Chains A and B, each alone.
Chain A
């Protein structure tokens, strides 16, 4: 049996004294794309931050490629998982290329400077998010969606086996939403990456994810294959809103009442 990229065991999460999640267990294997769904405040970002190591869980453990995250030095963890946070802030101007090539940081020795190979990887990452030709642009002159794609490119340049993304397509237009998620799916299929992303658009989730993790305000968690867990009943229970699931031209669509 292969070792899962991410193995979460008996996880308990509190925020401000409120229990968000109890005894959460799930495994993410190479080649799987997981979407995380749930209403505002259900703990999606908190769970992601815990998995990244930005906060300690109240109980349980997070294992990264077979070893507890807690026991891995940060530099080692950086070679195993990448993270794209929900909010980005650029206070200072920097070129797009400089921002993206930072993704190569984990692989450079202390005195090493980025070389042509790193720049080529950054360039390829930019092309993958449709930002080829933007290398010399100042990030402060970019639109919100373009900045989000710069952050995505930096994550792609990091080239970690496990990609954790907090609302990666929230500012993107529909073309780039599809483009980015298609690319993530391709990375999972062809290069065995594992992907976990949060998203509010149920249709994007169902179309691009293989598995779903649904958090509810009550702390109950449903997980499994998208087709099996993204049912009308489960979604209604999670969001407190009636959702209709319809099949059109071979696609599953969700419509909120």
Chain B
């Protein structure tokens, strides 16, 4: 308990530092001292405008999106009891992409793209739920046969279907729209201003899932043991699926399909902190948010004034650091 608090406090401290860094860096430099002044006073200076109106919303959106993705990734890994699962493994990002790219193809505005993404994600959630309802909430099992492989296969098939539609759309898209579509697919926080829904959903998701964190520890040992230890397996699995899906849907709607965070943050934290969900889930939200915030700060400054899609940065930072972690801990995964 004490250990959990210390870990969260440390991670929150790092998150605050990342926020400060994100707010001071950019084409218009802000001295850290000015930052305090701007944040404390309701400054109407130009610096204040830039920090409050431009950088802060984007930083909040980045943090919330990263937190959602890492949390969703950790939950999907528990649901499928598979270390390779990530938030998109059940095809949700494909649905969102089809919705968003469809809106772009039709030449609709940013709001419609967001609505398209949310609609596509929702459609994907419902399709998986309808097809694999029994598997999502399954608890009857025999020997080694458990529900996760079938659920996983359903999701992978759905993702393949969405992938084909996305490729078709990209093929048919006019040149002028292609760049925007590719940026969306790689994940991009440029123009992501709607941080409030993402942050709210992150808070709600944590509040919903945290009370059952110990039951998730038990679930990881297998459905049969979980049942014998008094866990209501079927409702719990359904809840995990829904929370992870809604979190992913909000993340994708806010910033497109940013890869990597949802896979790597939970793993890195498991290697460092152990696999107690009571510690891990809040830590994922904090560390995922921080990582995406830092990556986005890099994405908009490295080759300024041009911006990179943040998904590229997350992978470029994430792959080597994760491999390093993995190699340093032989025998663990």
Residues of A that sit less than 8 Å from B by CB: 45-46, 49, 52-55, 73-79, 81-95, 98-99, 102-103, 105-106, 108, 110-111, 113, 138, 140-141, 151, 154, 158, 164
Contacts and interface: CB of A to CB of B under 8 A. Distances in A.
Contacts of A46: 142
Contacts of A94: 220, 274-275
Contacts of A102: 217-218, 221, 225, 229
6 contacts: A77-B230, A78-B230, A85-B143, A89-B144, A102-B217, A105-B214
Given A45-B143, A52-B228, A102-B217, A113 B331 contact: no
B29 interface: no
Contacts of A77: 230
Interface string B247-277: 0000000000000000000000010001110
Most chain B beta carbons < 10 A, residue from A45, A55, A87, A111: A87
A69 B224 CA distance: 16
Contacts of B139: 54
B18 to A, nearest CB: 28
A118 to B, nearest CB: 12
Interface bin, chain B? 35 or more
Q: 4 smallest A-B Cβ distances: which pairs?
A: A78-B230, A83-B228, A75-B230, A85-B224
Given A94-B274, A113-B278, A52 B1 contact: no
A108 B229 contact: no
Nearest to A110: B211
Nearest to B78: A92
B179 interface: no
Contacts of A78: 228-230
Nearest to A48: B224
A92 B140 contact: no
A92 B139 CA distance: 20
Contacts of B77: 92
Contacts of B224: 49, 52, 54, 83, 85
Nearest to A86: B143
B180 interface: no
A116 to B, nearest CB: 13
Contacts of B35: none
Contacts of B332: 93, 138, 140
B81 interface: yes
Contacts of B211: 110-111
B232 A138 contact: no
Contacts of A154: 221, 225
B140 A55 contact: yes
Nearest to B223: A54
B231 to A, nearest CB: 7
Contacts of B274: 94-95, 98
A106 B144 contact: no
Nearest to B231: A74
A151 B141 CA distance: 18
A176 B96 CA distance: 54
A149 to B, nearest CB: 15
A99 B232 contact: no
Contacts of A93: 270, 275, 332-333
Interface in B139-160: 139-144
Given A88-B222, A106-B230, 8 more contacts: A52-B224, A53-B227, A73-B230, A91-B81, A92-B333, A93-B270, A108-B214, A113-B1
Interface string B231-257: 110000000000000000000000000
Nearest to A114: B214
Nearest to A15: B142
Contacts of A87: 143-144
A10 to B, nearest CB: 21
B167 interface: no
Contacts of B140: 54-55
Contacts of B144: 87, 89
A24 to B, nearest CB: 19
B83 interface: yes
Contacts of B232: 74
B221 A99 contact: yes
A179 B232 CA distance: 34
